[in-house]
Amino acid sequence: MKPYLIFLDMDGTLLKSNQTLSSKTIDIIRELSSKGHKIIISSGRPLRGVKEYYDILSLKTPLILYNGGSLLSFDDPSFPKVDKLFPKELIISLIDEIGKEYLQNVICETHEDIYYLNNDDSLDRYFPKKNMMVHVGDFKKILDQDCYMVLIKIKQEKYQSRIKDIVESHEGLKLRFWSGKYLEVSEIYFDGVTKGRGVSILGDYFSIPYERRICFGDALNDLEMFKRCKYSFCMKNGEEELKSISYKVTQEDNDHDGIYLELKDFDFDR
């Protein structure tokens, strides 16, 4: 049996709504890993929001973090760490161009530091502050390094179009709006720096072609990942646009072993 690459989004996919892993999911991922398949967590989260689950699953593979902005490995010293950071000067310039009067908050971070325009606890479940250096205030005064992530919280939905135009007037920058509960949160990202980029890098690194790549996701930040995997599974609870391009929609959602049910019946000898 030849090894497959299996990419797993976290929120709305690998994790249940209560932020836990099902025992069936844990067991099948450990079983597939023991058979030589490469299980990769592919998330918009930072390292600290992923590490606990990585350890529970007993993984030894590289991680895709910040939607492809960072790829790293704990266990493979030969793995070439991949980073794409936002220059601090660019972040400050964008805040000035948008105007603070349109912004409820700006959130940026590295692996050790978090920067806030204003105090904010709303995203702690995804970006916990524990063991992080937290800085709050005018970015011109506090931002002293380049960052992996730039999130903005817009004061009113009617400002979205204006802000999107400003961000995307910068060559190579894009803006996407998070779905569901956090629609007011927008993510600035580099065109081409996606989970799909991470899939391609790891496919080359492990010499595993498109035909032996599987992925699971639920949201539009998974779209580029889906394009680079032959067997792309959209969660039953996922977005309709993602379902429309997927290989298959899972039988059940993230709260009812959606990943487990597909992997247990998947023919890895095909």
CA distance 184 to 152: 8
| 180 shares its domain with 200 | no
Domain closes at, from 151, 172, 190: 190
Q: Over the stretch 69-126, which tens digit does the pLDDT of each residue have? A: 999 998 888 898 899 999 999 999 999 999 999 999 999 999 899 999 999 888 787 7
pLDDT in tens, 4-27: 999 999 999 999 999 999 999 999
- 171-223, pLDDT tens digit by residue? 999 998 876 554 578 899 999 999 999 999 999 999 999 999 999 999 999 99
Residue 216 and residue 170 in one domain: no
173 and 43 share a domain? no
Same domain membership, residue 178 and residue 94 = yes
Residues 161 and 28 in one domain: no
Mean pLDDT for all residues in the chain: 94
> Do 67 and 132 fall into the same domain?
no
Query: Is 177 found in the same domain as 125?
Result: yes
Residue 67 is part of a domain; what is its CATH number? 3.40.50.1000
Q: What is the pLDDT of residues 254-265, one digit of tens each?
A: 999 999 999 999
In this structure, is residue 270 part of a structural domain? no
pTM exceeds 0.95, yes or no: no
Contact present, 169 and 199 (Cβ < 8 Å): no
d(CA 27, CA 169): 47
Is 92 found in the same domain as 78?
no
Q: Output the domain CATH number for residue 118.
A: 3.30.1240.10
Same domain, 116 and 174: yes
Residues 78 and 212 in one domain: yes
> Which of the listed residues 190, 220, 243 is the one where a domain comes to its end?
190
Domain count, the chain: 2
- The pLDDT, as a whole number, for residue 183 is 54
At residue 18, the pLDDT reads 95
> Does residue 78 fall inside a structural domain?
yes
**Whether residues 95 and 184 fall in one domain:** yes
Say whether both 57 and 184 belong to one domain. no
* Sheet of 149-154, strands arranged across: 133-136, 113-116, 103-109, 149-154, 185-190, 173-177
From 132, 162, 190, the end of a domain falls on 190
Domain residues for the domain of 131 are 88-190
